[in-house]
Amino acid sequence: MSKPIKVGVIGCGGVAQMMHLPFLADHPDLFQLEAVCDVNPLALDAVATRYHVPHRFTDDASLLALPLDAVLVLSADPHSPQVIAAAQQGKHILVEKPLAFNLREVDMVERAVREAGVQLMVAYMKRYDPAYVRAREILAGRTDLRHVEITVWHPDDAAYRTHYQLTPPPALYDPVASAGGLGIRDVATQGVLAELVDEALGRDAPLEQRMGFLMMITSIIHQVNAMRGILGEPEAVLATHIWHDACGIHTTFRFSAQLLATLTWVFLPGIRHYQETYRFLAPDLRLELEFPSPYLRHFPTALRIEGADGSHAWKKDVVVSYDEAFHAELRHFHHCVVTGERPRTGIEEARRDTEWLIAMARAYRPS
């Protein structure tokens, strides 16, 4: 049995506190948490104290100077500068999505990772979900799919965080303060992310298109990657509609003359229930995946299968496992670091996602 690898965590915000840090602590046989880093001293001190971390820093350069095997980049966007710095220090990397906002960023990361000879894995946890893996096995090789439908009804993120002890505590959605929708107008028009969007779409891209692209690259990227993981690459993006300040986004993909796929994402801040459903339809099969909120631990993804046997119709509800996708993701990362095996969700996956998300935004049709 291999020794645990020494890791550091850059970014101690919500997803780190809810998922990654508890699961690192659950696997002392695989990971030895040596250092944490965050620009917020309250979050940093809370995390370092809770998990008895030997080293705490407010700058990632100091963390990367330590003799670590790997780092988890969980900080706010953009991630590429920290990923490149980690690679140049010889650290293996698990990075939260998105890896990049445009292809120039992807090229820079790929060059740094290749020259350093380190592993890079993007944290697409849905690809490691046991029910997703089983659905992929069932659908593998099928050429008779007629339609795929993906829908996401997305509530306020903070509504799913209130049962955690987070530092700082989550700020619930305020419909008055957020009258402009998701509050991404400023992000889409000024600052470092706006400059990266300029490279992806051009400086003259309409505001609604820019806001839609930000939602795609920071949230809908999960659904695009999961879709590609089962169906492979689309032939084309036929159209994308964006409305209500990017609170609604709908895209149609063509996979073949016989198969179209639709992806619909709607922000519904006044509800609490997150819903993410994938339906795969063939003449003799209906397969459905329903993911729980990514902020709930050990809720199994529902797998429903419907078919017919002669004159008899049947339905099957399958609980594949109560294993947590974030757990499985970390185990795969450890395996790749110690064996040299290429990650299932490596840089090529991130490149293809970036290409398709740009294509989705460029297929924008004003509503």
| Spatial contact of 24 and 31, defined as CB atoms under 8 Å apart | yes
Q: What is the per-residue pLDDT for 159?
A: 81
Between CA 51 and CA 146 the distance in angstroms is 49
Between CA 201 and CA 361 the distance in angstroms is 8
Q: What is the per-residue pLDDT for 10?
A: 98
Positions of the chain with pLDDT under 70:
1, 173-182
Residue 183: count of CB within 10 angstroms of its CB: 13
The order of strands in the sheet holding 364-366 is: 312-318, 302-309, 285-291, 275-282, 147-154, 260-267, 248-254, 236-243, 364-366
Q: What is the per-residue pLDDT for 2?
A: 74
Backbone Cα Rg of the chain: 21
Task: Show the domains of the chain with their CATH numbers.
Answer: 5-123 (3.40.50.720), 127-326+353-366 (3.30.360)
Residue 305 amino acid letter: I
Q: Say whether 275 sits in a helix, a strand or coil.
A: strand
Q: What is the per-residue pLDDT for 1?
A: 56
Q: What is the per-residue pLDDT for 271?
A: 86
Residues facing residue 279 across a β-bridge? 149, 288
Q: Say whether 341 sits in a helix, a strand or coil.
A: coil
Q: What is the per-residue pLDDT for 176?
A: 47
Between CA 101 and CA 193 the distance in angstroms is 8
Read off the tokens for 264.
């619909």
| Spatial contact of 214 and 187, defined as CB atoms under 8 Å apart | yes
Phi-psi sector, 313: left (phi>0), alpha (psi -120 to 50), beta: beta
C-alpha closest to that of 226 among 97, 74, 76, 83: 97
